[in-house]
Amino acid sequence: MTRDWHAWHEEYADPASSLSRRLEEVRIQLAAVLERGTGPVRLLSLCSGDGRDTIPVVAGAERDVVVTLVELDEELAAAAVVGAASAGIAADVRTGDAGVATTWSDVLPVDVLMLCGVFGNVTDAAVKGTVAAARSMLAPGGSVIWTRGNRVPDDPTGHLDDPAEQVRRVFLAAGFEEVAFVRPADASYRVGVARLAEPSAEPIPDRLFTFVR
């Protein structure tokens, strides 16, 4: 890894920060996804950090949620284990490379796939490949909750406009329906929710993405 992801998480300490506002929006969108259905839910979060966008929402949900979190950094994964235990939820926290399918392929299909803090760190080709793979990772009617920053330092995208707009286009081209897209006028984070009616039977590639920044 090239970035200090512990330092990145420190911005959460300021409740007024853009990152904290994004967190709140992700939680709102996850809660809305969970409220839309009935019955048990399988949730997979890739590059989950300490799981703070997922754990409290699942703890407050009316439905049973089977949670798998995948995070490369051992300390952040350990924080997720502690966070889940103190929230009273059972979570399968895996310390490993979320870009590699074998790290999580045994829990597929899932109803909710969280890709928060991923797309701004990978190439445009990897965004496309990950969205394409998501079509084979979801159960029918499953949702992806994703984020993308605009004006990310050393942004890996080749697109000149707001890169979140390209992510939206990629989901639509892959057959997803857009359920939500949040683009605050005064902040650079974007949060999207995309739903897939009919999953694909295409095989999932061995590797979806590698962080490039």
Ligand X SMILES: C[S@@+](CC[C@H](N)C(=O)[O-])C[C@H]1O[C@@H](n2cnc3c(N)ncnc32)[C@H](O)[C@@H]1O
Binding residues for ligand X, rule: CB under 6 A, are 1, 5, 8, 47-49, 53, 70-73, 76, 97-99, 116-117, 211
Report the phi/psi class of residue 141: left, alpha or beta, with left for phi > 0 and alpha for psi in -120 to 50.
left
In 170-182, which positions are buried (b, 16+ CB within 10 angstroms) versus exposed (e)? bbeebebeebbbb
* Token pair recorded at residue 100: 């590699």
Q: Is the Cβ–Cβ distance between 68 and 177 less than 8 Å?
A: no
Least distance to ligand X, CB of residue 39, Å: 26
Could you tell me which of 159, 191, 162, 161 has the C-alpha nearest to residue 178? Answer: 191
Of 75 and 198, the one with the shorter C-beta distance to ligand X is 75
Of 72 and 131, the one with the shorter C-beta distance to ligand X is 72
For ligand X, which residue has the nearest CB?
117
Least distance to ligand X, CB of residue 212, Å: 10
Of 24 and 198, the one with the shorter C-beta distance to ligand X is 24
Could you tell me which of 141, 132, 146 has the C-alpha nearest to residue 201? Answer: 132
Least distance to ligand X, CB of residue 68, Å: 12
Of 48 and 68, the one with the shorter C-beta distance to ligand X is 48
Of 49 and 142, the one with the shorter C-beta distance to ligand X is 49
Least distance to ligand X, CB of residue 38, Å: 27
Least distance to ligand X, CB of residue 78, Å: 12
Pairing state between β 41-46 and 110-115: parallel
Q: Is the Cβ–Cβ distance between 93 and 77 less than 8 Å?
A: yes
